[in-house]
Structure 1
Amino acid sequence: MSLNDRSKKILDELVSNPSITSTALEKKYNVTRRQLGYSFNKINDWLMSKNLPVIERTRQGHFIINQSVFTRLNGEEKSVPVDTSLLSENQRVHLIIMMLLSYKEELSLSHFTIELDVSKNTVLSDLKQVQNYLSDYDLIIRYSRKSGYLIEGKEFQVRKLLIHVTYQLLQMNNGKNRIKELTSIQRENVNEFTKRIEKVENKLNLKFTDEKMETMPYVLILLLRRIEKGNEIDSFSIEYEELSDTKEYLATEEILYDFKEIPVAERLFITLHLLTTNVYSSEFLIEESIPNLVPATDNMLRLFEKSACIYLQDRELLMDKLLQHIKPAYYRIKYQLTGTVTIQDSLSKEFKELHHLVKRSIGPLVDLIGNEIPESETTYITMLIGGWMTRQGDSIDKKVKAIVVCPQGVSVSKLMFNELRELFPEFIFLDSLSVREFLSYKLEYDIVFSPTFLETEKTLFISRAFLGREEKYRLRKQVMLELHGYIPNDINVTHLIDIINNYAVIENKKALTEELHMYINRDEASSVKQDVDLKDINLDELITQQNITVRSSVKTWDEAIRVSAQPLVESGKINPEYVEAMINQYDKDPYIVIGPNIAIPHAAPEEGVNEVGMSLLRLKEGINFTADYSINLVIVIAAVDKQQHIHALMQLMKLSGSEKDRNRMINADSIKEIHNIIQSYSID
């Protein structure tokens, strides 16, 4: 650490003239008693950092200096390093906020000018920035002659601000001493709370991160001071049982064992602070208070692996690392306490791509918590996963990155995206975009798939939205020849073995040959020629006359799904729980509406599908799906896998694109007439 210019001059004066008094120092250097005290504390902290005895000050204003200080400073260290760094505007803003939150006396402009050593005009400008800062917390600054400058607003928001600013100040050079000086927190008090937190670590069998360990004593001391002054927490929506049953609540009781008058709401808030604090390691991390956290995290990771085309090694260890972050993040996000961690904006290209894939995979956590995941939290998750990939030598930087650009609407675009991702499992598909979105797309990519020509410097492959089996084969062959100059199954494995044998010892040539055959042929076998012997199922074979229901109207969307699905339930193709799953899913699926007046409710096969099937409900009078959509045709889809229903679905998509035939179905007089229209789209 180093000393600022004023503190250095005062130390030099004390060493050269130890008989000088406090009053004489104040007069000589034109400082107030408070400013002198501030410099005196800085000098003692600096001396302790050099393993030198501190300078004592008597009640009469005289100083007692140990001989070793004179010897050291007059000998080998004649020049004391000076802290010449000026406070930035952001640092001054944080210091002003800390003063507003913790000062024991009324604050005027002169208090700020003295502490920050700047002019009144600078302070007035800083106060405007403080108000801008406070607006994010729904807080304001108020000034009166009687009370000086104050922060006003809900105490819960004040606490969030206090925690955040404490963290920011501790990141500053000499931040601990600045906080102690501003708040008059004594070293002994900090040490006492540090010991209490260390006991909590032992009780909970965990280790808090170093930065949180440094921050928590100051936060707890300042929170308790506000409570003692009567600034109690507002009522906030936390169920008592949700926190009182946690180990952290018991730990809070241990921290506050000698504070008898702390209200229950305050104990819950401090418990919440412990729950939201990042940990470095933990033996017993997950408990019944978040019963679905593990499967939600696991599902998120599986979605990421699929999107990034990778397999994460040592998956259980990575899960432990993620859960150590996600458990406290769960409470931060749920109770809007995020914002204490600052992530730098200068991110590498590959990191931005990883971050994009993580955000696309985060849905299971969003569903669990019930809130959107803030950018700072997804960024940290990306850092954990990215670090793990680097450790195992994996990277997405060398993988082919593709986008799908489709002008035919979100549903067609999504279907095209999924089909191409199945056809090219070794590519990373970043997004399905409209043409307008494509024109302003920021992420790096290598190739573009689109049913229409686009102006682009990247490699463009023109592909129809709906591909037959032979068309898929031709497209895959075209893409592989363009990118790699070969088609995977054209590689001669025998020649490949000979090449490997020239540079390495092959212990089991037969096993290696078999593995290479499986690897080289895997893409075409799984993506192009899969189920060659299976006959495509046409739309009219799934939507039979027995699976069509005609009604004038229904009262609710739930009823529409139940009525449409009833033929499939009666025939045993789906179980009743599949119907409930569709009802629960519809508002979360933006691709359920595939065209004007037509929707395709569906759920996952494992939620109650026994056999592939489709059923149709025709409503003369449409049912409102949203403010923008009125639905007349409800087609329930029951898929057992990713393949069998696709051919019929493509035919249905073509039908949905015809306004004339949609209207004919809506106005049809009989089930047979509706089925005749379906049959006209059921031709290969």
Structure 2
Amino acid sequence: MNLDDRSNKILEELISNPSITSKDMEKKYDLTRRQLGYSFDKINDWLISKNLPAIERTRQGHFIIDQSLFTKLNMDHTVESADMDILSEKQRVYMIVMMLLSNDELSLNHFTSELDVSKNTVLSDLKRAQDYVGEYDLTIRYSRKLGYVIEGKEFLIRKLLIHVTYKFLEMNNGASRLRNLAAIHENEIIELNKRIAKVENKLNLKFTDEKIDTMPYTLTLVLRRIKKGQKVSSFYIKYEELSDTKEYLATEEILYDIEDIPMEERLFITLHLLTTNVHWSGYLTEQTIPNLMQALDDMLRLFEKRACIFLQDKEQLLNKLLLHVNPAYYRIKYQLTEINHVQDSVSKEFMALHHLVQKSTKPLEELIGMKIPESETTYLTMLIGGWLTRQGDSIQEKVKAIVVCPKGVSVSRLMFSELRELFPEFVFLDSLSVREFQGYTLDYDIVFSPTFLETDKKLFMANSFLEREEKHRLRKQVMMELHGYIPFDINVEDLISIVKNHASVNDEQELSKELLRYINRDDTAAVKTKQVRNPIINLSDLITPETITLKQSVPSWEAAIQTASKPLIENGYIEQEYVNAMVNHYDKDPYIVIGPNIAIPHAAPDEGVNEVSMSLLVLAEGVNYTEDYSINLVIVIAAVDKKQHLKALMQLMKLAGSEEDRNAVIQAGSVDEIWNIIKSYSKE
């Protein structure tokens, strides 16, 4: 992100004159309290994006500035001259696009005259402009009759118009340039500003300053296109969802004296209001969009788990997120989000945080029904990153780990889950195949893998399935390697002293007993307790003689899945829907092959699973799975959650790793022979 001119000047003033007060700043730069507050928030967002400490403002209007900012900003931060009139390459592209959006019958001469550059430069810029509008699925076309025009769906042209207007007004003297370029009278802007101010009062909110600056120009250009007959299609906009909103009534306030505005266009302007960022809102509640607050809360819980961080004052953060995500909901749903690349918006230090936020947005995606775009995830990252900075936490300070497993997605996820439980203080970024690892771009500290990998980071070899003793050994090895100590010798008195420094202790003796019980707990007792709550299911409990099928051959992979699933359908464990899902998804999950001649097709629990179950199809003649594998053993796995089937899956993996027993199953002459081998792997 970049700072606008006003925020730039304020930041420069703070660095050169840190003793200045808010009132002095307002007077010096002719700002309202709200304008200064908005610029101050923007400055802090920019500082956080550069991994720099935010500036604090006291209630008395003074500023607290970290000493490191004076050195860092004097070295790196330069303010563009307000008098600089030379346009950059990008700015010339914005000029060309704006000319195309607001004028007719444009020739090459119009561009050379307006931009004051040669024809060759304009032709090069037109190619860049084509690339730019191409991101919106639009094209620039030239004809002798019409000159240069932008062609494509009007809804997408409006999306481009909104974005390029914002970019245009970021330029030096952008507002006056835009008025001259599009022949917009200042009175038009003044009148629309008055109407927007009434809208703010009607909706009991305050739009952000940049949106207040942009909105009258956007609306002016949109209304012009409507008058020219360039109208949006009703296909994109749901009348029922928008017509009952307060924003629809506010649209009537803006258009009360403008005739011949079709219903679709009124809905589009309503949508523009709904998607506009707000700085403050007095009526925004979780009822505005049902279940939005719950989705945000679920997202933060996922983030806390992935990032190994506890978020303080979560209610305040949720309200701040609600303020941003409410308009983002409509932007995402109606595909009005900005097109940008996260690499341009998030600093290298924030890439890991961005990745963890991105992996936590599933509750929002399920609510909206669409994937969250990069630009919106970037804003979420900035908000959450700022909150972490405020509470003194940093992802950068934590050990970041990845898991690389060549044995397929199911095994890889299981290994990832076990290691995350074994090292709760580490941030586990991803579970990867070897090929994915070779092209991995995020910064990490350590790698866990069952196979040797070429890496300059610390590599810890670990089996795909860890027994209890292996877990103890691995934890000791990793902690000794990273920190030079084994973190098992814990002094209870030291712990109590630390607790007393930060909290009141009502009963020190009872606390000491509880801590001792926890530190010296019997792991085997914990396992027994867990067994009572959720009994461990062995491989022989799921693959039984009734769920084993022997056949000479099948004609296709689809037929193999259908045949293997038959016993589970007959017993009511799964529905046909689950079988269809396995057939449809097989090419999307090439890692279901877990060993030579053996594969474990499966789908999601919500795609037709009634009860945790497994079945085994043994084929004397292998069936082709893609071009790479011939499969003799097909084990259908139907899971109801992420835990119940894990013990059986671990036992199955051990069987898959034994060439002798694997071949014995393939060559078995009866179900009983196979059943005996299955039972041998099911002993505790």
| TM-aligned CA deviation for residue 639 of structure 1 | 6.0
SS of residue paired to 1:425: coil
| TM-aligned CA deviation for residue 654 of structure 1 | 2.5
Task: Name the structure 2 match of 1:324.
Answer: 323
- 2:568 is the counterpart of 1:564: yes
Indicate the larger mover: 615-624 or 292-301.
615-624
| TM-aligned CA deviation for residue 583 of structure 1 | 7.8
CA contact (8 A) 1:108 1:148 kept: yes
Task: Name the structure 2 match of 1:21.
Answer: none
Change in 2 beyond 3 A, CA 1:666/1:325:
farther
CA contact (8 A) 2:618 2:666 kept: yes
| 1:446-487 alpha-carbon deviations (Å, 9 max, x no partner) | 222122233434332221111112221222232233333443
| TM-aligned CA deviation for residue 221 of structure 1 | 0.9
Task: Name the structure 1 match of 2:655.
Answer: 655
Task: Name the structure 2 match of 1:539.
Answer: 539
C-alpha RMSD of matched pairs (Å): 4.3
Task: Name the structure 2 match of 1:682.
Answer: 682
| TM-aligned CA deviation for residue 660 of structure 1 | 7.4
Task: Name the structure 2 match of 1:248.
Answer: 247
Change in 2 beyond 3 A, CA 1:422/1:344:
closer
Change in 2 beyond 3 A, CA 1:640/1:107:
closer
Equivalence map 1:297-312=2 (5 Å): 297-312=296-311
CA contact (8 A) 2:82 2:172 kept: no
Report the Cα distance in structure 2 between the residues aligned to 1:152 and 1:600, rounded to whole angstroms. Answer: 46
Change in 2 beyond 3 A, CA 1:465/1:342:
closer
Change in 2 beyond 3 A, CA 1:466/1:333:
same
Report the Cα distance in structure 2 between the residues aligned to 1:209 and 1:672, rounded to whole angstroms. Answer: 72
| 1:59-110 alpha-carbon deviations (Å, 9 max, x no partner) | xxxxxxxxxxxxxxxxxxxxxx98243111211111121112112x533333
Change in 2 beyond 3 A, CA 1:277/1:526:
farther
Task: Name the structure 1 match of 2:312.
Answer: 313
Report the Cα distance in structure 1 between the residues aligned to 2:239 and 2:618, rounded to whole angstroms. Answer: 48
| TM-aligned CA deviation for residue 340 of structure 1 | 6.3
Change in 2 beyond 3 A, CA 1:116/1:638:
closer
| 1:116-157 alpha-carbon deviations (Å, 9 max, x no partner) | 233333333322322222222233333344433322232222
Change in 2 beyond 3 A, CA 1:379/1:481:
same
Task: Name the structure 2 match of 1:87.
Answer: 87
Report the Cα distance in structure 2 between the residues aligned to 1:512 and 1:199, rounded to whole angstroms. Answer: 64
Q: Which amino acid aligns with 2:176?
A: N
Change in 2 beyond 3 A, CA 1:346/1:200:
closer
Task: Name the structure 1 match of 2:174.
Answer: 175
Change in 2 beyond 3 A, CA 1:346/1:221:
closer
What are structure 2's unaligned runs of at least 5 residues? Answer: 6-28, 32-80
CA contact (8 A) 1:592 1:601 kept: no
Equivalence map 1:203-214=2 (5 Å): 203-214=202-213
| 1:340-381 alpha-carbon deviations (Å, 9 max, x no partner) | 678772744431110111122223333333433222111111
Change in 2 beyond 3 A, CA 1:536/1:371:
closer
Task: Name the structure 1 match of 2:470.
Answer: 471
Task: Name the structure 2 match of 1:223.
Answer: 222
Report the Cα distance in structure 1 between the residues aligned to 2:174 and 2:216, rounded to whole angstroms. Answer: 14
SS of residue paired to 1:488: coil
CA contact (8 A) 1:131 1:141 kept: yes
Report the Cα distance in structure 1 between the residues aligned to 2:566 and 2:191, rounded to whole angstroms. Answer: 63
CA contact (8 A) 2:342 2:374 kept: no
Task: Name the structure 1 match of 2:72.
Answer: none
Change in 2 beyond 3 A, CA 1:342/1:478:
closer
Equivalence map 1:483-494=2 (5 Å): 483-494=482-493
| TM-aligned CA deviation for residue 316 of structure 1 | 2.4
| 1:316-342 alpha-carbon deviations (Å, 9 max, x no partner) | 222222232223223322332222678
| 1:22-41 alpha-carbon deviations (Å, 9 max, x no partner) | xxxxxxxxxxxxxxxxxxxx
Counting aligned pairs with the same residue, the percent is 58
Change in 2 beyond 3 A, CA 1:256/1:559:
farther
Task: Name the structure 2 match of 1:22.
Answer: none
Task: Name the structure 1 match of 2:600.
Answer: 599
TM-score, normalization by structure 2: 0.75
Equivalence map 1:111-150=2 (5 Å): 111-150=110-149
Task: Name the structure 1 match of 2:354.
Answer: 355
Task: Name the structure 2 match of 1:165.
Answer: 164
- 2:508 is the counterpart of 1:511: yes
Q: Which amino acid aligns with 1:135?
A: G
SS of residue paired to 2:613: strand
Task: Name the structure 2 match of 1:456.
Answer: 455
Q: Which amino acid aligns with 1:85?
A: D
SS of residue paired to 2:318: helix
Task: Name the structure 1 match of 2:68.
Answer: none
SS of residue paired to 2:148: strand
CA contact (8 A) 2:449 2:461 kept: yes
| TM-aligned CA deviation for residue 239 of structure 1 | 2.9
Indicate the larger mover: 325-334 or 506-515.
506-515
| TM-aligned CA deviation for residue 419 of structure 1 | 0.9
Q: Which amino acid aligns with 2:600?
A: A
SS of residue paired to 1:181: helix
Report the Cα distance in structure 2 between the residues aligned to 1:237 and 1:664, rounded to whole angstroms. Answer: 59
Report the Cα distance in structure 1 between the residues aligned to 2:263 and 2:623, rounded to whole angstroms. Answer: 49
Report the Cα distance in structure 2 between the residues aligned to 1:526 and 1:99, rounded to whole angstroms. Answer: 75
Q: Which amino acid aligns with 1:93?
A: V
Change in 2 beyond 3 A, CA 1:84/1:593:
closer
CA contact (8 A) 1:245 1:289 kept: no
Change in 2 beyond 3 A, CA 1:628/1:677:
same
| TM-aligned CA deviation for residue 171 of structure 1 | 0.4
Equivalence map 1:219-618=2 (5 Å): 219-285=218-284, 290-339=289-338, 345=344, 347-494=346-493, 508=505, 511=508, 514=511, 518=515, 530-531=526-527, 534=531, 538-545=538-545, 564=568, 567=571, 590=589, 593=592, 595=594, 598-599=599-600, 601=602, 614-616=613-615, 618=617
Task: Name the structure 2 match of 1:34.
Answer: none
SS of residue paired to 2:385: helix
Larger Rg: 1
| TM-aligned CA deviation for residue 425 of structure 1 | 1.2
CA contact (8 A) 2:307 2:356 kept: yes
CA contact (8 A) 1:249 1:271 kept: yes
CA contact (8 A) 1:412 1:594 kept: no
Report the Cα distance in structure 1 between the residues aligned to 2:399 and 2:115, rounded to whole angstroms. Answer: 54
CA contact (8 A) 1:446 1:459 kept: yes
SS of residue paired to 1:236: helix
Task: Name the structure 2 match of 1:42.
Answer: none
Q: Which amino acid aligns with 1:98?
A: M
User: Across the two proteins, how many residue pairs are aligned to each other?
Assistant: 595
TM-score, normalization by structure 1: 0.75
SS of residue paired to 2:397: coil
Report the Cα distance in structure 1 between the residues aligned to 2:600 and 2:536, rounded to whole angstroms. Answer: 23
CA contact (8 A) 2:602 2:636 kept: yes
CA contact (8 A) 1:537 1:645 kept: yes
| 1:297-325 alpha-carbon deviations (Å, 9 max, x no partner) | 33322221111011212222222222322
Change in 2 beyond 3 A, CA 1:84/1:414:
closer
CA contact (8 A) 2:618 2:665 kept: no
CA contact (8 A) 1:548 1:615 kept: no
Task: Name the structure 1 match of 2:56.
Answer: none
| TM-aligned CA deviation for residue 176 of structure 1 | 0.8
Q: Which amino acid aligns with 2:508?
A: A
| TM-aligned CA deviation for residue 429 of structure 1 | 0.8
Report the Cα distance in structure 2 between the residues aligned to 1:425 and 1:496, rounded to whole angstroms. Answer: 19
Quick one: higher RCO (CA 8 Å, sep 6+), 1 or 2?
2
CA contact (8 A) 2:550 2:618 kept: yes
SS of residue paired to 1:676: helix
Indicate the larger mover: 669-678 or 305-314.
669-678
Change in 2 beyond 3 A, CA 1:89/1:312:
same
CA contact (8 A) 1:156 1:233 kept: yes
